Structure 1
Amino acid sequence: MPPTNDQPDRRVALALMAHPDDAEITCAGTLIRLAESGWDVHIATTTAGDCGALEGSPEEIAKIRIAEGTRAAESVGLSFHCLGQPDGRVVYDRDSLQQTIDLFRQIAPTLVITMPLSDYHADHEVTGQLGRAASFVYAAPNASAVPLKKGSTVPYLYYCDGHGGVDRMGNPIEPTVCVDITEQLDRKTEMLACHASQREWLKAHNGIDEYLSMMRDYCADRGRQFGTEAAEAFVQHRGHGHPREDLLAERFPLRSLSDH
């Protein structure tokens, strides 16, 4: 009997983010839970975040931020990848999509978490578009010259929460599922703390200080909506060709918003 959709042969998860600290802010608790349950988990970023600094050349900042992303991922047993696209200038074109598809071919994820299609930062939105497109097509034999791994398939696809739980116009995002990360919150915080270069940058450019506590406070806000201490929220992509069963809700049952 073939595996059911909630138990794929390959248990490989990929979080495709825009910048090296995006996973830690949005979905690291869920990634830790996946790794704890036996999944092979990868974080990939489209950029190295080379604009996220007050001083230093793009090459210098990229080196620092890739090292921070690698350190954060490896601290909880995950792998880190970077596509090296220019920060603040991520575009959806044939070359960037092919680069993303090639990465998917190398990893062959059966679960993908990517960025929301409507968010305050255009890099986030374009990354979400790349993640959606690559998810659908990467397993097609002719989509890439990278050899096709056995078990490659159209994956479960989720979009992570937008900044502050709103879209680019400030409208509330209605998640389809939340994952309890109460037990993972401290390790998620430690992962975010690895991105030490970002504190001064975010304070100067975005007016954000103490972004570790801000992340924890937001996870607590989402958690209170579902009767737990801390949670991460997602919207599942259930379009044609993608699995429609809610893998995250089934594997980490809390309460799906459809139950309300």
Structure 2
Amino acid sequence: MDLLAIVAHPDDADIFCGGTLAKHADRGDDVVVAHMTRGEYGGFDTTESDIAATREAEATEAAEVLGCDCTFLGFEDGRITYSLENRRRIVEVIRQYEPAVVLTHYEDDMHPDHRTTSELVTDAYYMASLPLVETESDPHDPDNVYFFGKPTSSFDPEVYVDIAEYQETKERAIERHKSQVSFLQEHGGIDGEFDDLVDSTRAEARVLGTEAGAQFVEGFVPLHQPTTDYLR
């Protein structure tokens, strides 16, 4: 099963679904992280281009730790907007990589980039299979979209992935985002649930693990239930 994670910022995949990505990569699946932006608003006392270059390098290193590939889609941090043109751009990304499953942000999220990314991916998932929607690549029909979310939102997981064997890998990937580890500690407040990236994500994985009967877990909400679930 090939996976495509479409995330707003360079550290989002590692924080929210890094264990799942590492688990599938270790199984031999093709796993790609597509970053909508280069995260150029995520820093202090420097230029956007400098921050973007740092975060792109960190994300590339983190992807290597997880065992997956990564790409950057060229949207502007803090300025992702919903439009037909942008939806078509995501349709092309889905068609290009031909994933069986797409992972992305849950719709209820404080960050506007997360919310808009969720909406674009959800709608592009549907449009990607339609032959008359023209992009450079051929139509593709992924099996499903799975959403990940913040513990501070209304996010209520329905699917649990046991990442006990990959929690350490996930943490090593998060640690590659050195600029964000320090930025979020100083930022506080708004992203308070992630003041300490490693400790916070480990605690969340442990809480979800308690619900699912495992040591460490990542949770997801599927866009739709497979038909077989209704026929059993």
Q: TM-score higher than 0.5 here?
A: yes
Whether contact under 8 Å (1:26, 1:232) holds in the other structure is yes
- Between the aligned partners of 2:62 and 2:2, the Cα distance in structure 1 is 19
C-alpha distance 84-224 of structure 1, shift in aligned 2 (>3 A): same
Counterpart-to-counterpart distance in 2, 1:144 and 1:83: 19
Gap regions ≥5 residues in structure 1: 1-10, 247-260
Contact between 1:135 and 1:155, CA under 8 Å: does it hold in 2? no
Contact 2:20 2:218 in 1 (8 A): yes
Give the letter aligned to residue 135 of structure 1.
Answer: Y
Evaluate the alpha carbon distance shift between residue 214 and residue 45 of structure 1 in structure 2; reply closer, same or farther with a 3 A threshold: same
Partner of 1:22: 12
- Trace 1:2-21 onto structure 2 (pairs within 5 A): 11-21=1-11
Shift of 1:244: 4.6
Q: Secondary structure at the match of 1:85?
A: coil
SS in 1 for 2:88: helix
Q: How much is the aligned-residue C-alpha RMSD, in angstroms? A: 1.7
Deviation at 1:125, TM superposition (A): 0.8
2:174 to 183, 189, 192: 192
Return the TM-score normalized by structure 1.
Answer: 0.81
Q: TM-score, normalised by structure 2?
A: 0.90
Q: Which residue of 1 aligns with 2:213?
A: 227
In 2: Cα distance, 1:38 partner to 1:137 partner: 28
**Alignment map for 1:110-259 (pairs within 5 Å):** 110-148=100-138, 152-160=140-148, 162-164=149-151, 166-167=152-153, 171=154, 173-207=155-189, 208=192, 209-238=195-224, 243-244=226-227
* TM superposition shift of 1:103: 1.4
Summarize deviations over 1:206-253 as a string: whole Å, max 9, x none: 3454221111111111111122110001001117xxx4568xxxxxxx
CA distance in 1, matches of 2:128, 2:92: 8
**Paired residue for 2:63, among 73, 82, 90?**
73
Instruction: Mark the runs of 5 or more structure 2 residues left unpaired by the alignment.
Output: none
- Does 1:107 pair with 2:93? no
1:121 Cα deviation (Å)?
A: 1.0
Distance 1:144 1:59, change over 3 A: farther
- Residues 34-72 of structure 1, C-alpha deviation per residue, up to 9 Å, x if partnerless? 112221001111111100000221111111111111111
CA contact (8 A) 1:15 1:23 kept: yes
Distance 1:216 1:245 in 2: 34
Identity %: 33
Name the CA distance, whole Å, in 2 between partners of 1:148 and 1:33: 29
Q: Which structure has more helix as a fraction of its residues?
A: 2
What stretches of structure 1 move > 3 A for 4+ residues in a row?
243-246
| Alignment partner of 1:56 is 2:42 | no
User: 1:163 is aligned with what amino acid?
Assistant: K
For residue 256 of structure 1, what is the aligned residue in structure 2?
none
* Matching residue of 1:258: none
Alpha-carbon distance between aligned partners in 1 of 2:144 and 2:88, rounded to the nearest angstrom: 20
Cα distance in 1 between the residues matched to 2:44 and 2:128: 37
What CA distance in whole angstroms lies between the structure 2 residues aligned with 1:20 and 1:223?
Answer: 25
Q: What amino acid is aligned across from residue 196 of structure 1 in structure 2?
A: K
Checking the alignment, whether the CA contact within 8 Å between 2:7 and 2:35 is kept in structure 1 is yes
SS of aligned partner of 1:145? coil
1:97 correspondence with 2:87: yes
In structure 1, give the amino acid aligned to 2:217: A
